[in-house]
Structure 1
C-alpha cells in the first residue's frame, strides 16, 4: 500500500502544537525522580534503565542505584559485581555493563564530568541517537529530536504513516518529522511531553483521543484510523526449551558458577544449569549426575526434584527443572566457580531464576548431638 505524503505542519501549526502539548504536560506530568533534576548523570542512568522497562519498575532501581553510585566517579570505581547486583531484576544486563564501561571512559577522557556535546555523548558505550538526544535535551535543553517506542507511535499517527514504522525508510521519515516539530526552546520539556503523551494518552490500544491535547493536529484521528496505525509488529515465534538447574549442597554451602561471555546472563552468577530434553523425574537425576561430572568435574548424589518453573527469555519459553543434590567429590574453587553460603548468595548478582532458586533453599540443619547413655 502506497503511503500518502504526510501533512506538513506549517510554522504556526508547529507553534500551536507545542503550546498545547506543553500546557497539558505542565499539569499532567508524572512526578518522577529523574524529572526533578537537570543532572546529566541522573538522567543518563534513568534513560538506560527505561530502555525496554516500565517506568513503575525503574523508579526504585534508579533511587537505589544513585544511592550506591551518586556520581560518575563512584560508578567507575565500583566492581562489576556490585553494578550487576544493583541491576538484578531489570534484565538486559548488557546495559549495566555498558554503563560501567562508559563511566570509566568519562573519568578517563572527561575528568569525571558527563560530556555536554552530542558527539562526545554518542561516543559512549550503549548510547545511540535517541539516548543522546534525550539526555542533552532534558538536561541542557539542547534542540535535539528523540525517537523511541512512545514517540514512534505518536508521530506515526500525527502524519498517518501507513508503512511499517520499523523499516529504515519509515525511521528516516520519523526522525525528520521529530526534528521539524521541535520548538525553538523548551525542547527538554517538549520531548518529555511527547513521551508522556504516548505513554498515557496515545496508547497502543484504545488511545484516549477524546482528551488528547493535540488531537486537532492528528491525521489518523481525523481519518478515524487509530486502530490501524501504526502497523503492528509481526508476532514473535517462540521456541520451547527445557533446562535443568542443580542445587549442589556441600554442608552449608552451595556450588555456583559465573556465566561467561557469550552465555545468557554473562557476568552474573547462577547454579549449574544446562539444556536437557523433556523427561520424567526418574531420568532427570542420573542425567544431571553424568552432566555435572563431565562438565564441572563434580560428583554428586542426586536427592530429589526441587521445583519446576516456566519463564520467558527473549524469544524462548523455558521450562526449568530444579534438582536438589549432595556433593560427593570434585568442584574446585576458581574465579568462575565457587562454594557460597545462603548469606553470600544474597550479595552476588544472580539471574532472576537463580534468585528464585536461592529463595527455595532452606538453612542447613544443625548436626544432631549424640545423647550420652
Structure 2
C-alpha cells in the first residue's frame, strides 16, 4: 500500500503569534550583531538602496561594491541617471553582467523624472509600477528606505524559508513561489521591516548557505523543520532542467591597425545595446533563429560573407577559424564560431531595416566596453592572436 505524502501545514499553524514574535527578535538580534558593513547600509537614500538592490540580484556583494561606488560617483542622483545616455550607463556597468538591469534602471529613472516629478516613489506598489522594477526590488526599497511593511523574496530568502518550513516541492513552481511570498508577508514585522528583510537575506548568504548550512550558529535553528528532520542539506529542491535547443552562429574578427570592427546590438531585447563582433548572432531575433540557419562547418564562411554584406554592407573574405565560444541562455545554447576576416572592397549601404551601428574600437579599449560575457570570450580569441608576436599577422 503506497503512502500518501502528508500535506505541509501553513506557517500560521507551524508558528503561533508568540513564536513569530520570538523568531523576529532572534533574527533581528543576530543581524544587529553580525551584519556586514556595506556602503549601502550606511544610508537610507532610496536611490542608493535601489541601485544596491538591483546590483545584488545577480552579483556577489564583494563584486558589487566597486560598481556601486563607481556608479554613484558618476551619476549621484536619479536626475543624473535619467539624463545620461544609455551608452554611458552601460559603460559604467561594463563587466558586471546581466546588462538588462542597467537598461531597466535607466528606463525607470526616466519614468521617475517624467511621471513622478523627479521624486522617488515611497511605496512598494508605486515602485512596482515603474518599468523594469519587480516585486522583490519594490519591496526591498520600500521597506529599507521608507519603512513600509513589505516582504522580499530572493534566492537567499527562498532557501531560508524552504528549510524553515521543510518545503519539499520545487521552489521554481508557481504555487511554491506564491506560498513563499505569503510566508514572507506574514513574517515581516511592522517595525524595522527593512532590517528584517536584510537579515533574512544576510542569513541565507552567510549561514543558511546552499551547501553545508551552518545550522549550529543559525538564530532560527529552533524553529527549522528541515533541521529537525535532518534534511536541510537536501533542500530546497528545484525542477529538473529541461533540454534546450542548440544554435550555431558565425562572427567575423575584422581588425585594422590595432582596432577591431564591432557592432552594437539593437537597444531592446536580450543583450540590447551591448557591443559584439559582427555576425549572424546580431539582431532582434538573434538568439532564436530557425533551424536551417545552423550550417555545416564548411558553409560557415560563405554564410558569414552573405550576412555581413546584407547586414552591414561589407564585402569580406573570411580567413582562418579562430575558435568557438559557448554560452548558455535560459532558452538556448549558443555556439559562436569566430573567423578572422578582412574587408576586400568598399562598403556598400545596408538596407535600412538591417542597418546596425558599427565602429572601429581600439583593442586597448575592449575591457571598458559594455559587452556580454559571450563576447568577451570571443574577443580573447583574436586579442591573443594580436598579442603573440610569433603568430600575429597585420591586417
Report the alpha carbon displacement of residue 347 of structure 1 after superposing the two structures with TM.
6.0
Using the TM superposition, name which of 132-141 and 292-301 deviates more.
Answer: 292-301
1:165 alignment partner, SS class: coil
- Note if 1:227 corresponds to 2:226: no
Match of 1:21? 27
Partner of 1:241: 247
Q: Give the Cα–Cα distance (whole angstroms) in 2 for the partners of residues 123 and 104 of structure 1.
A: 13
**Is contact 1:88-1:352 (8 Å) kept?**
no
Corresponding residue of 2:289: none
Q: Secondary structure at the match of 2:359?
A: strand
Measured against aligned partners, the alpha-carbon deviations of 1:256-286 in whole angstroms (never above 9, x if no partner) come to 2221256642222221122664755x65444
Q: Which residue of 2 aligns with 1:308?
A: 324
Q: CA deviation at 1:124?
A: 0.9
Partners of 1:160 and 1:357 in 2: CA distance? 44
Check if 1:90 corresponds to 2:96. Answer: yes
CA contact (8 A) 2:158 2:171 kept: yes
The partner residue of 2:174 within 168, 174, 177 is 168
Distance 2:61 2:311 in 1: 41
Q: Is the 8 A contact 1:256 1:270 kept in 2?
A: yes
Contact 2:215/2:227 (<8 A) preserved? yes
- Structure-2 separation of matches of 1:55 and 1:96: 17
Q: Shift of the alpha carbon at 1:217? A: 1.0
Q: 5+ unaligned residues in a row in structure 2: which ranges?
A: 282-292
Query: How many residues in Structure 1 have an aligned counterpart in Structure 2?
Result: 366
From 151, 171, 181, the equivalent of 1:145 is: 151
Matching residue of 1:3: 7
Q: Which residue number corresponds to residue 322 of structure 1?
A: 338
**Pairwise CA RMSD:** 2.9
- Work out which of the residue numbers 345, 355, 370 in structure 2 matches 1:349: 370
SS at match of 1:336: coil
Secondary structure, counterpart of 1:322 in structure 2: strand
Could you state the TM-score of these two structures normalised by the residue count of structure 1?
Answer: 0.87
**Structure 1 unmatched ranges of 5 or more:** 368-373
SS in 1 for 2:22: helix
Contact 1:236 1:315 in 2 (8 A): no
Among candidates 267, 272, 279, match of residue 273 of structure 2: 267
